[in-house]
Structure 1
Amino acid sequence: MSLLFHELEIKQHNLFEKGRSLEQKEASVEQAIQQRVAQQLEQEKRNLELRVVQEAEIRAKQLLQTSQEWIQTELQRLHLLQKRNDEARKWLNLLAGIVKRAANTTAFFLLWGAIAAFWGWFGGLNTPPAIVCQSQVSWCYQMRIWGLKTAIAKPAAPKSQKICKKRVCDRRNSRNFHSSPKRQK
């Protein structure tokens, strides 16, 4: 019996060892499953992060492309504006040059015309000695530098009016002094 009892104990011990090994196997399988799930979760998390990063990069590239297009558009607009300003400045400079030349030409002709007129007046006033001035206080007389200074003497007024005939004196006193006398028949 003891042999049987011992056998039974061995079987129990084997069964106990088998149960324990089954528990260990179940625990190791459970750990392996947990590790695998953790790895899969970690892999999914990395994949999700990679997707987010890739989407962010795609959005950044799109924004960069649109901003570069906008910058290029602005540069083109500024270039066209600069070109238009240069053309306007060129035309204004051309117009200013034309006005300046016209003003210089006009001033030149006016100045030389004034100089010629002055020398003509001055020469004409002083060269012919036969020109007689109206009076000694006139410009003609005062501006004469060389040559004879001659002036026309005013005729003396009659000293008395008694000498004149009655008819002539009456005409001089009347309003129509310069008008012609009426002829009587």
Structure 2
Amino acid sequence: MALYLSVILVSSVQIMSEDCVHGVAHGDDSEKRYEFFWETDYLCRRTRYGAFVGAIGVALSLFVIYYKGLFADVSATSPSLLTIGETDGENNLGALNFECNAATILALLIGVGGAVITSSRGPGKSFGNLFFFSWFSFVLSLAIWFECFLAKRYSVNISSKDVSNFQATATNTSSPRFTKWALLSVFGIIEFCSAIDAAISYGEH
């Protein structure tokens, strides 16, 4: 997931560099940066959103990876952090709840991003890194969200004898879902860096 978001992030920044930075012929860098961030062109607004989604996706994905690793490390010494307790009739697990919330936020952000970035007036309308990785990231975020949804449904009726197994699965740093988060963060970095690099080079011509 991180890898897909990295591609989106880099591609968005590249497009912004090419099409959204119109520096004065002999202007200094501060003038170019000002126009880069405040350009109101339709394409540039959508490209900025792509860069925003990539940056948020990378940050959130890496934090989920860190958070799950932290829970895995402390599970033996601080079992209270992983306690599945009754809250409003539902069993819950801190690490899993956080992961599910993060997956929901990303699925919404990336879904909207895929629609606006790859539309006929968006920066990713033609086939390329931004187009493909926008949709790859969306599919991957949905897959993570669905896995979290199934895990939470399972946790509602989990029996006490299965609690330890469930905790181990929820914080397993070598699970397929953990790998998806890592991919999502890398994709976000690539997306952010491609987009800014291309606008700056355009503004220098």
TM-score, normalised with respect to structure 1: 0.21
Larger radius of gyration: 1
TM-score, normalised with respect to structure 2: 0.19
Of structures 1 and 2, the one scoring higher in RCO (CA 8 A, sep 6+) is 2
